[in-house]
Structure 1
């Protein structure tokens, strides 16, 4: 089953958003999250590595802040269990970087058409872009769930939606969800924030396409 969620108004105005409203400022409505009613502590099991992946694609915006530099722009991410393609765009729509992961490894191509290779997205983005993209966990966190591979703590609201995840040294806070849901009562995040030590991300998702 394919689930497609769109926010056409945000898609049309995403460039204006970058010009007039800092993504980290947010708004009061996004900061008003449901109170935590349950905290789950989850340990990996022996069959965690065989957990079936969720295929998805999304279009959104991202802002990255570190102590020394940052990035803001658009993102287009297509994910499957064996591959990823992530395109990062400037606020004006130019491609800043293309990241590809497959069975052969990871490649990153810059706007100057320079190609870099590595074994992991995390190491490659830190080397080339100056900040670490936590793809191993993010492929699960982006869906409002935890990675099954490592220890995690999950805060849930009264509706069973994830409010926050603490895993692998990261804190992931979910600020807003799309109101549309699947027949499995699954909600998809719209705004989320990731942070650890000197690195902070905010993701605003405008368009989801998820295969269940």
Structure 2
């Protein structure tokens, strides 16, 4: 049956209205990038680390207190009940790790090697210094800046970063809220090593 000519403009208007409404409800994610990188910052939050040791899968969940300035990084890791897991201090020349009262502090030239040896898993502090603020260097050596619309990168030192959630992705300068970091080699996860990092909101 042929649609009467006077109905056609009405149907067209309804179709266009529906299309516009659909675009309004499923519009593109914000392309705003994170705030400029700051050498000096303090962050708190929670993390879960999944790793393999001696062929067995293990995990660790806890809280962290992160402080950094231009030259140094201090990280305190505690259990969900507030028990100290480790204190890590990094300077331009060395890294020191203290595990409560169990043993004397351990020192090494790099913090990644130190945490792997002492804890059984790698906390990539040298990378996290930038990752926590939404910055990294990609596998081609190019700078990467995260945004809700550009949220995944493989770094030059072999980690896949996924910026899964944001404090407010519609903000003018959105801040990361949840980051997945997975150890990568030749495109494949190795050692079952992945870290989930939840960052508290700035006012917490």
* Residues 1:71 and 2:60 are matched in the alignment: yes
What is the RMSD of the two structures over their aligned residues, measured on CA atoms? 3.0
Taking the aligned partners of 1:56 and 1:206, their CA distance within structure 2 comes to 13
- Greater mean alpha carbon deviation, residues 75-84 or residues 97-106: 97-106
* Residues 1:93 and 2:82 are matched in the alignment: yes
Give 1:166's match in structure 2, choosing from 154, 168, 176.
154
TM-score normalised by structure 1 residue count? 0.65
Count, aligned residues: 158
Taking the aligned partners of 1:106 and 1:150, their CA distance within structure 2 comes to 28
- Residue aligning to 2:99: 110
Whether the 8 Å contact between 1:181 and 1:188 is mirrored in structure 2 is no
In structure 2, relative to structure 1, the CA distance for the partners of 1:79 and 1:104 (3 Å cut) is same
Unaligned 5+ segments in structure 1 are 1-33, 38-51
TM-score normalised by structure 2 residue count? 0.67
* 1:138-185 deviations in Å (ceiling 9; x for gaps): 11111111148972585866x6x5411211211000111112898xx3
Instruction: Quote how far apart the aligned CAs of 1:103 are.
Output: 3.8
In structure 2, relative to structure 1, the CA distance for the partners of 1:88 and 1:129 (3 Å cut) is same
Q: Pick the structure with greater CA Rg.
A: 2
- Residue aligning to 2:122: 132
Whether the 8 Å contact between 1:100 and 1:107 is mirrored in structure 2 is yes
* Residues 1:203 and 2:194 are matched in the alignment: no
Divergent runs of 4+, >3 A: 34-37, 147-150, 152-157
Greater RCO structure (CA 8 Å; 6+ sep): 1
- Kindly indicate which of the two structures has a greater share of residues assigned to strand: 1
